[in-house]
Chain A
Amino acid sequence: MMIWDDIFLEVDFWINIVSIALIVIGIYGIVFSQHLLRMVFGLGLLEAGVNILLVKAGYQKEAIAPIVTQASDTMMSNILAATAQMVDPVPQAMVLTAIVIAAGVQALALSLVIRIYKKYGTLDSHVLFLAMERDRHLSLNQKD
């Protein structure tokens, strides 16, 4: 019982579970569903899961957010003492970047989904694959 308590009460465990769940659900959406929108959403979940792992890397026990709050206290030694207690700011910056990148990619994917739906009236990826191959075949044999 004790061991299980230890594990379940550990934040670390739950963070891992959440991120893996996000990743796996994302992969399910991307790979195993045939619906384009689900694929895009899956991508979002996947990237969210990865981002959690990345931002987790910067966490330090007993540390504070990386912001110097005692603005009036400009003694360098004090600031240094404060910053030494802070978490790693680099992963936060990286995750910020990664989120924006993911947003851009997903927006692009969505716009493609819109276009595809307007053109073919379906969002089934297998049907669309066949449609693409058929288009290719037609364009090869009709060209003048």
Chain B
Amino acid sequence: MSVLDLDHVFFLLIVNIGIAVLWGNRPFVGKILTLLYILEGLSILTSYHVLLSGAVLSSSLTFTVMQQTVQWQLGVSGGFFALITFMAAGLATWFSSGVWARSYAPIRLLHSYMALNVAAMLLLLASNDFLGLFIAWELVSLVSFLIIAINGGRSAKAAYSYILYAFLGAMAILLALIIIWNATNSFSYVEVRHHWSTMSVNRQLIVVLLLITGFGIKMAILPFHRWQAPAYAYVPAPVAAFLGAISSRMGLFALFIVLLQVVGIDVIQTLWLPFEIINMQTFLLWLAALTLIIPTFIALRQTDARLLLAWHGIGQGGFMLLGILSANALGTAGGIMHVFNHASYQAALFFAVFSVSYRTGTADLDRLGGLVTRMPISFTVMLVGIIGLAGLPPMNGFVSKWLIYKALLDEGMPLLFLAAVIGTLGTILSVYKLIHNTFLGQLRLEHENIKEVPWSMSIPMMILASIVFITGYFPGLLLESIAAMQSTLGISVVDYHLGGVNTGKGNLNMIVVVSTMLMAIGMGALIFFVLGNPRKQVTQWDNYAGGHFLTSDMRYQYSHNFYPGLMRVISPLYRNTIFWLESAIVSTVQFMAHISYALFMQANYLLYLILLVVISLLWVLAV
């Protein structure tokens, strides 16, 4: 096994970018790119056992500046995230490789930006110190900006607000980095960890908060959550799936590495916010919980399926953070596992939603319905996806959420557990709305003749759906690398087996759970059919309403204004404070800008010089 294995991946990525830039318009190129992504994923997978043993894949990409050697090497955590990235990118490209590409004019840009994104993300995942991390971080921000802005119009606006938030985050990180450098004279993780305690407690606190802000902005934690949903919703299907699956997880990855590997969770536990109001860990946990709850309930209000999913993406990010910050073997395992799980079902859901909008031309939940007979594959995929998103067995979302619940309870945080449950409740309600309004109910007249999406689009969806199911069935597949990750980071390691985990007080075995469920369903079906299959095929319009005959163009089943009662209860809570804050900042900046400009536009600016001279001389005389 060559040590410089990562070079192959980088080389492939460059080839990838080259092909996308040069021939991105050709019809076949999507397939080639898909193959390349799979190849890159495989080349990491083939040496994955090395990573599991705690070794790293290093690359020859390295430089020395300011006595710091910056090099790129992939550890098991990076490898895990990289695999998810390649999975998402590969399937997204596959999705766009066939018929879809013909309907999308700037396909070359899409391929190029996707390739650039993957490359930048790999740089981030393989970074080995703060400097490399920051460089890659900024690259990721820029290429994400490109890919978000790809559609122009609304998406460009969203991209602009994204890049401003991203710069805010980058500056926060940079500030943290500089403070760290000042105290430790180093950017390397090991050195920083070693010299961490040379910083005063105040500095430590500031650094941690800055890092949380910086990396948290990428995963849209509260109160920086406003950019993400529009940014991820108004892009083309493959991009949405890719972004929703992995892009904002880069923030989580960085946080995970920094908080657990460099700072150490024990340090976070000992830090207190000023006046000892609240412990840092508790504070962050509640931040994560709010990030889970609020965006989830915002999602519940959405009538655009894409926005609904995008808001859920933010909420699930809170879930992951909750798990990781619980500082418990089960919790961190659950948090990381949820990254994978979320990537798989979120991509599947985005594909399903975009398939529907590809055929119907809309993603507005109020103008859809009854598509189940027309698009059965999409329906199945969405069903699998929402079960995963809601965190119900037998899909993989259940496992990770279970682990997180368990961790919260084990750590004695019942209120947080309650918050997580509330979040899940919101998720279940809204995903039901999603699938109901899209696929169930009455088919609209204008959708009478639509067909299932072509194979090039449905196969990636099905692959994702099966991944969701399989990793739900055998969570041990993922837990193996998560355990390796935990041991390399030096935190407590989860005790796993193929079917699930062993905890001190009990044991989760998904093979048993799922098999039982399947058997129960099978038995039910058996009974149903054995007892004579008492079903009757009717058309969708074979209905009566209180004795009245309804014509086919009259809707008897409405799918808008879902959950009116619940909305009445919770809508007073939406006092969009953050929105207000944001616009206040914008107007302050504009005001300042106007004043500064007016300052320069003076007829008699010589006065400034004289005034400066006089003031400075007076100051001198006074001193």
Contacts and interface: CB of A to CB of B under 8 A. Distances in A.
14 contacts: A27-B610, A30-B606, A31-B604, A31-B606, A31-B607, A31-B610, A34-B604, A125-B603, A125-B604, A126-B603, A126-B604, A129-B603, A130-B603, A133-B601
Contacts of A27: 610
A122 B409 CA distance: 83
Contacts of B601: 133
Contacts of A34: 604
Contacts of B606: 30-31
Which 3 residue pairs across A and B have the least CB separation, nearest first?
A: A129-B603, A126-B603, A31-B606
Interface in B592-623: 601, 603-604, 606-607, 610
Contacts of A129: 603
Interface in A88-128: 125-126
Nearest to A126: B603
Contacts of B604: 31, 34, 125-126
A126 B606 CA distance: 12
B100 to A, nearest CB: 43
B403 to A, nearest CB: 62
A31 B610 CA distance: 8
Interface string A15-27: 0000000000001
A133 B598 CA distance: 13
Given A27-B610, A34-B604, A125-B603, 11 more contacts: A30-B606, A31-B604, A31-B606, A31-B607, A31-B610, A125-B604, A126-B603, A126-B604, A129-B603, A130-B603, A133-B601
Nearest to B609: A31
Contacts of A133: 601
Nearest to B611: A31
A109 to B, nearest CB: 13
A126 B605 CA distance: 11
Nearest to B614: A27
A92 B606 CA distance: 30
A138 to B, nearest CB: 16
Interface of B: 601, 603-604, 606-607, 610
A71 to B, nearest CB: 47
Nearest to A30: B606
A43 B601 CA distance: 23
Contacts of A125: 603-604
A27 B610 CA distance: 8
B620 to A, nearest CB: 17
Contacts of A126: 603-604
Contacts of B603: 125-126, 129-130
A127 to B, nearest CB: 9
Nearest to B613: A27
Nearest to A128: B603
B610 to A, nearest CB: 5
Contacts of A31: 604, 606-607, 610
A30 B607 CA distance: 9
A130 B610 CA distance: 22
A27 B604 CA distance: 13
A33 B603 CA distance: 12
A30 B603 CA distance: 13
Nearest to A133: B601
A27 B607 CA distance: 10
Contacts of B607: 31
B333 to A, nearest CB: 61
B608 to A, nearest CB: 10
Contacts of B610: 27, 31
A129 to B, nearest CB: 4
Nearest to A27: B610
The interface centre, meaning the residue of A30, A31, A125, A129 with most chain B CB atoms within 10 A of its CB, is A31
Nearest to B602: A129
A130 B604 CA distance: 11
Nearest to A39: B606
B606 to A, nearest CB: 5
A48 B111 CA distance: 70
A93 to B, nearest CB: 27
Nearest to A132: B603
A19 to B, nearest CB: 16
A34 B607 CA distance: 12
A5 to B, nearest CB: 28
B604 to A, nearest CB: 7
B597 to A, nearest CB: 12
A10 to B, nearest CB: 22
The interface centre, meaning the residue of B601, B603, B606, B607 with most chain A CB atoms within 10 A of its CB, is B603
B480 to A, nearest CB: 65
A62 B603 CA distance: 50
A106 to B, nearest CB: 16
Nearest to B605: A129
Nearest to B608: A31
A86 B434 CA distance: 100
A111 B610 CA distance: 25
A30 B604 CA distance: 10
A142 to B, nearest CB: 21
B614 to A, nearest CB: 10
B308 to A, nearest CB: 45
A9 B606 CA distance: 37
Interface in A13-68: 27, 30-31, 34
A112 B607 CA distance: 21
A27 B609 CA distance: 11
Nearest to A124: B603
Nearest to A33: B604
A50 to B, nearest CB: 13
Nearest to B601: A133
Nearest to A130: B603
A105 B610 CA distance: 20
Contacts of A130: 603
A118 to B, nearest CB: 21
Contacts of A30: 606
B291 to A, nearest CB: 46
A27 B525 CA distance: 100
A125 B605 CA distance: 11
B611 to A, nearest CB: 9
A28 to B, nearest CB: 10
The interface centre, meaning the residue of B601, B604, B610 with most chain A CB atoms within 10 A of its CB, is B604
A86 to B, nearest CB: 34
A130 B606 CA distance: 16
A34 B603 CA distance: 10
A52 to B, nearest CB: 19
Nearest to A42: B606
Nearest to B610: A31
A82 B606 CA distance: 47
B157 to A, nearest CB: 26
The interface centre, meaning the residue of A34, A129, A133 with most chain B CB atoms within 10 A of its CB, is A129
A129 B605 CA distance: 11
A129 B601 CA distance: 9
